[in-house]
């Protein structure tokens, strides 16, 4: 029903994982797509595939944790397409070396995780909004189910995503009069190449799926279409929303495992 024909959309971290599927959904709806990330090789491969489907694609190697790189994404997108209608803040993660129980988290681990997922999501959104100031636009922040629940082992990541959701609501409130909409999408566990490195056995996958009413874990393609809708004109009265996409799951497996372990240890 909706179309993104004539729109230009930036997807940070658009070269792989969920971002890749978001870029694909935007392209399938007719948008010109800008994909960014640190690895040129990954971006070039993704761009080549997106172009095969007829999409106009710009691949920009950029580190989202550098202000100059964010400015360059804006400048090069405007130079190529003359507009920015949509911006998806998807780049984010928590490196396995930077996570652990809260009692042992170091300041440098905290900074890397919270800076990438919260600080730079904000400054990227600010840069996007400044570029959209004259014509309006739509910003989509990729949060996580982790924002809403305890996250034993990745507490600072959950806190950063909770911050993203709160900022999403404030940005929506402050920028509505500029016709800039800001929404967040909060996925549950979604299988990506990266996650497959740890969620790598049938039994682990099954245990995850057992916490999901829809009886499976997510696929990157589960996330893209909603992001495309949020960028479309049909979503023009949707702003400040945080939309879960998680197969109905509200109990993270990590939380359950943690409780079972503690109960076993003290019992
Ligand atoms: N997968 C899940 O289960 C899940 C669940 C809930 C929420 N999420 C959220 O969904 C988003 C995508 O996650 P994913 O699972 O697809 O992650 P992923 O497979 O690890 O991919 C992360 C993406 O972010 C980019 N990125 C990371 N650091 C960056 C930096 N400093 N500058 C620029 N780009 C950077 C990566 O590209 P380069 O490495 O090339 O820079 C890559 O494209 C994240 O915000 C994540 O928190 C994921």
> pLDDT tens across 193-251, in order?
999 999 999 999 999 999 999 999 999 999 999 999 999 999 999 999 999 999 999 87
Calculate how far, in angstroms, residue 142's C-alpha sits from the geometric centre of ligand 1: 9
Q: What value, to the nearest 5°, has the Cα angle with vertex 29 and ends 25 and 35?
A: 50
Q: Is 253 in the pocket of ligand 1 (CB under 6 A)?
A: no
* % of the chain at pLDDT higher than 70: 100
Nearest to 43 by CA among 63, 28, 71, 25: 63
Report in angstroms the alpha-carbon separations of 76 from 62, 65, 139, 248.
Answer: 11, 17, 18, 39
Closest atom of ligand 1 to 17 CA is 16
- Residue the block writes with tokens 């029903």: 1
Terminal Cα-to-Cα distance of the chain (whole angstroms): 56
Domains observed in the chain = 8-266 (3.40.50.720)
Nearest to 133 by CA among 182, 76, 175: 175
How far, in Å, CA of 218 to CA of 247, rounded? 7
Using one digit for the tens of pLDDT, what is the confidence trace for 19-75?
999 999 999 999 999 999 999 999 999 999 999 989 999 999 999 999 999 999 999
- Residue the block writes with tokens 């790189």: 69
Does residue 267 have a pLDDT over 80? no
Q: Is 134 in the pocket of ligand 1 (CB under 6 A)?
A: no
């Amino acid at each position: 029903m909706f179309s993104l024909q004539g729109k230009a959309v930036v997807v940070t971290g658009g070269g792989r994982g969920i971002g890749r599927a978001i870029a694909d959904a935007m392209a399938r709806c007719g948008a010109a797509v800008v994909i960014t990330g640190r690895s040129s090789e990954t971006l070039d491969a993704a761009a080549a595939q997106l172009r095969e489907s007829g999409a106009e694609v710009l691949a920009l190697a950029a580190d989202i944790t550098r202000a100059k790189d964010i400015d360059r994404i804006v400048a090069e997108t405007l130079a190529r397409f003359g507009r920015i209608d949509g911006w998806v803040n998807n780049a984010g993660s928590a490196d396995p070396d930077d996570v652990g129980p809260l009692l042992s988290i170091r300041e440098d681990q905290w900074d890397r995780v919270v800076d990438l997922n919260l600080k730079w999501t904000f400054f990227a959104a600010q840069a996007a909004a400044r570029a959209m100031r004259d014509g309006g636009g739509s910003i989509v922040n990729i949060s996580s189910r982790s924002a809403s629940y305890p996250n034993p082992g990745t507490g600072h990541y959950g806190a950063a995503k909770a911050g993203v959701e709160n900022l999403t609501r404030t940005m929506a409130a402050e920028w509505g009069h500029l016709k800039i909409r800001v929404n967040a999408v909060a996925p549950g566990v979604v299988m990506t190449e990266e996650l497959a490195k740890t969620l790598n056995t049938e039994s682990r996958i099954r245990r995850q799926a057992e916490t999901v009413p829809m009886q499976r874990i997510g696929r990157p393609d589960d996330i893209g279409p909603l992001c495309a809708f949020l960028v479309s004109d049909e979503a023009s009265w949707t702003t400040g929303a945080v939309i879960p996409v998680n197969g109905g799951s509200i109990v993270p497996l990590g939380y359950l495992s943690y409780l079972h372990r503690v109960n076993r240890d003290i019992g």
